[in-house]
Amino acid sequence: MASDMKWRLVEEFGPRCFTEADDGRLLFMADYTDMDNLVSWLLTLGAEAEVLEPEEVRNRIRKIAGELEKIYRS
Segment 17-74, tens digit of pLDDT: 999 999 999 999 999 999 999 999 999 999 999 999 999 999 999 999 999 999 999 7
For residue 42, what pLDDT is reported?
95
Contact 36, 29 (CB under 8 A): no
Distance of CA 72 to the CA centre of its chain: 21
For residue 2, what pLDDT is reported?
85
For residue 74, what pLDDT is reported?
76
Instruction: Say what the alpha-carbon torsion angle 2, 21, 50, 46 is, to the nearest 10 degrees.
Output: -10
For residue 64, what pLDDT is reported?
97
